[in-house]
Amino acid sequence: MYVCGPTVYNYVHIGNARVFVFYDVVERYLKFSGYQVERVMNFTDVDDKIIVKANEEKTDSLTVSERYIAAFIEDMKALRVNPPKVAPKVTDHIQEIITLIEGLVANGSAYVANDGEVFFSVRKFKDYGKLSGKNVDDLISGARVQTDEKKQDPLDFSLWKPQKNTNEPAWDSPWGKGRPGWHIECSAMSMKYLGASFDIHGGGMDLIHPHHENEIAQSEAFSLKTFAKYWLHSNMLTFNAEKMSKSLGNIMLTRDFIKKYSGEVLRYFLLSGHYRSTIDYSEQHVREVQSALHRFYSALAKAESASQSSNSNSGKSSPEEEKILQFGLEFDAKWKESMDEDLNTAKVIGLVFEYVRSLNSYIDKKGFKPTAHTQAIAGRFVDSFKKLSQVLNIFGENPKDFLTQLRLSVLSERGIESQDIEMKISQRTEARAKKDFALSDAIRNELLSQGIELRDLPGGTEWDIIFKN
Ligand SMILES: [Zn+2]
The answer for 143, left when phi > 0, alpha when psi is -120 to 50, beta otherwise, is: beta
**Contact indicator for 19, 201 with CB cutoff of 8 Å:** no
Ligand 1 centre from 280 Cα, in Å?
A: 25
> Distance, CA 214 to ligand 1 centroid (Å)?
9
b/e code 371-385 from CB counts within 10 Å (16+ = b):
bebbbbbbbbbbebb
What residues contact residue 326 under an 8 Å CB cut-off, 6+ apart?
none
CA of 186 to the centre of ligand 1 (A): 5
CA distance 384 to 334: 11
CA of 135 to the centre of ligand 1 (A): 21
**Ligand 1: centre distance to CA 85 (Å):** 17
Alpha-carbon span 115 to 148, nearest angstrom: 13
Separation of CA 257 and ligand 1 centre (Å): 26
C-alpha of residue 185 to centroid of ligand 1, in Å: 7
Three-state SS annotation for 343-397: CCHHHHHHHHHHHHHHHHHHHHHHCCCCCHHHHHHHHHHHHHHHHHHHHHCCCCC
| Beta strands at 2-3 and 198-204: parallel, antiparallel or unpaired | parallel
Contact (CB, 8 A) for 167 and 64: no
Q: How far is the CA of 457 from the centre of ligand 1 (A)?
A: 57
- Distance (Å) from CA 2 to ligand 1 centroid: 8
Neighbours of 455 (CB within 10 A): 9
Q: If residue 40 lies in a helix (H) or strand (E), which one and from where to where?
A: strand 40-41
From the CA of 44, how far away is ligand 1's center (Å)? 8
CA-wise closest residue to 3 among 134, 223, 193: 193
Instruction: Calculate how far, in angstroms, residue 4's C-alpha sits from the geometric centre of ligand 1.
Output: 4
Measured CA distances, 453 to 293, 367, 445, 456 (Å): 17, 19, 9, 10
Closest of 377, 375, 376, 397 to residue 385, by C-alpha: 397
> Residue 209 CB: number of other CB atoms within 10 A?
15
CA of 361 to the centre of ligand 1 (A): 48
Q: Separation of 178 CA from ligand 1 center, angstroms? A: 20
Dist. CA 12 → ligand 1 center (Å):
16
Distance (Å) from CA 212 to ligand 1 centroid? 7
Distance, CA 183 to ligand 1 centroid (Å)? 6
CA–centroid distance, 268 to ligand 1, in Å, is 26
| pLDDT at position 245 | 75
**Distance (Å) from CA 390 to ligand 1 centroid:** 28
Q: How far is the CA of 7 from the centre of ligand 1 (A)?
A: 10
Cis peptide bond upstream of 210, omega within 30: yes
CA-wise closest residue to 239 among 284, 280, 283: 280
Closest CA to 430 of 462, 461, 465: 461
What's the 43 CA to ligand 1 centre distance in angstroms? 9
Q: What is the pLDDT along the chain (469 residues), one digit of tens a residue?
A: 999 999 999 999 999 999 999 999 999 999 999 999 999 999 999 999 999 999 999 999 999 999 999 999 999 999 999 999 999 999 999 999 999 999 999 999 999 999 999 999 999 999 999 998 888 877 766 555 566 789 999 889 999 999 998 889 999 999 999 999 999 999 999 999 999 999 999 999 999 999 999 999 999 999 999 999 999 999 999 998 888 777 777 899 999 999 999 999 999 999 999 999 999 999 999 999 999 999 999 999 999 998 887 766 667 888 988 999 999 999 999 999 999 999 999 999 999 999 999 999 988 887 777 788 888 999 999 999 999 999 999 999 999 999 999 999 999 999 999 999 999 999 999 999 999 999 999 999 999 999 999 999 988 999 999 997 5
Phi-psi region of 240 (alpha: psi -120 to 50; beta: other; left: phi over 0): left
CA of 252 to the centre of ligand 1 (A): 23
- Span from the CA of 6 to the centroid of ligand 1 (angstroms): 9
Q: How close is the Cα of 215 to the center of ligand 1, in Å?
A: 7
The CA 211 to ligand 1 mean position distance, Å, reads 6
Residues by chain with Cβ below 5 Å of ion ligand 1: 4, 186
pLDDT score at 134: 83
Alpha carbon of 88 to ligand 1 centroid (Å):
12
Amino acid at 169: P
Rounded to the nearest angstrom, the distance between the alpha carbon of 100 and the centre of ligand 1 is 15
Q: Longest Cα pair distance anywhere in the chain, in angstroms?
A: 94
Compute the distance between CA of residue 237 and CA of residue 241 in angstroms, rounded to an integer: 9
Q: Calculate the CA 179 to chain-centre distance.
A: 31
- 18 vs 76: CA distance, rounded Å: 11
Q: What's the helix, strand, coil split of the chain in %, to 5?
A: 55, 15, 35
Backbone angles phi, psi at 6, to 5 degrees: -80, 150
Could you tell me the distance, in angstroms and rounded to a whole number, from the CA of residue 307 to the centre of ligand 1? Answer: 48
Q: Which string of DSSP letters, residue by residue, matches 112-164? A: E-TTS-EEE-GGGSTTTTTTTT--HHHHHHHS-PPP-TT-SSTT-EEEEEE--
